[in-house]
Amino acid sequence: MKTFKLKKLEILDHNEEIEQNNITLLDGLIINREDDNSQWIIEAYIEKSNFEYFSKLYEKQDEIMVQATITKESNEPATFITRVLGVNEIGDDMNVLFMGKIIDRRKNIVEDLLTDLINQGFQGKELLEKFKELA
């Protein structure tokens, strides 16, 4: 396993349009599990004001697309398809655990593909399924 510092985290909400929800980090890490499923774990240590938002994501257990900037803020973000593993209160703050797979493409290619799929009328779960099929 390899562990890296998480510098930035964005949730890509995909309703009518793709909206980037920048999550303010207090701290965070990302682990490449190097397992047979190529899964990564992302832990975001954030303010408790986000508890309701992430609790809803956890309850739904839908796949969530996130972009994570690793090691230094000047790096290109990596895109992941994840699920929320857990949401935990820690004193006055909280953490959120994600598990998922990295999408091995440059950001602009991913954005172009998602834009094209949205323009074709895909949304919600259909959008995510079609994206996974083509990515």
SS3 30: strand
Summarize the confidence of residues 21-49 as an average pLDDT: 92
**Considering the entire predicted model, what is its pTM?**
0.76
Q: Domain for residue 8, yes or no?
A: yes
Summarize the confidence of residues 50-54 as an average pLDDT: 94
Q: Looking at this protein, which amino acid is placed at residue 35?
A: D
What does the pLDDT look like over 78-119, one tens digit per residue?
A: 889 999 999 999 999 999 999 999 886 566 667 777 788 888
Which of the pair, 101 or 127, is modelled with greater confidence? 101
Q: Domain for residue 130, yes or no?
A: no
Cβ count within 10 A of residue 38: 12
Q: Domain for residue 11, yes or no?
A: yes
Q: Domain for residue 128, yes or no?
A: no
Summarize the confidence of residues 66-82 as an average pLDDT: 91
Q: Domain for residue 121, yes or no?
A: no
For residue 20, the domain's CATH number is: 2.30.110
Q: Domain for residue 120, yes or no?
A: no
- Does 46 score more than 70 pLDDT? yes
Tell me what pLDDT residue 50 has. 94
SS3 15: coil
The model's confidence at residue 12, banded by pLDDT at 50, 70 and 90, is confident
Question: Is the torsion defined by CA of 129, 46, 1, 58 positive or negative?
Answer: negative
Tell me what pLDDT residue 106 has. 60
Number of folded domains that form the chain: 1
Q: Domain for residue 42, yes or no?
A: yes
Q: Domain for residue 44, yes or no?
A: yes
Task: Say if CB 72 and CB 7 are below 8 A apart.
Answer: yes
Share above pLDDT 90 across residues of the chain, in percent, rounded to a whole number: 53
Instruction: Give the range of the structural domain holding residue 27, as residue numbers without chain letter.
Output: 2-104
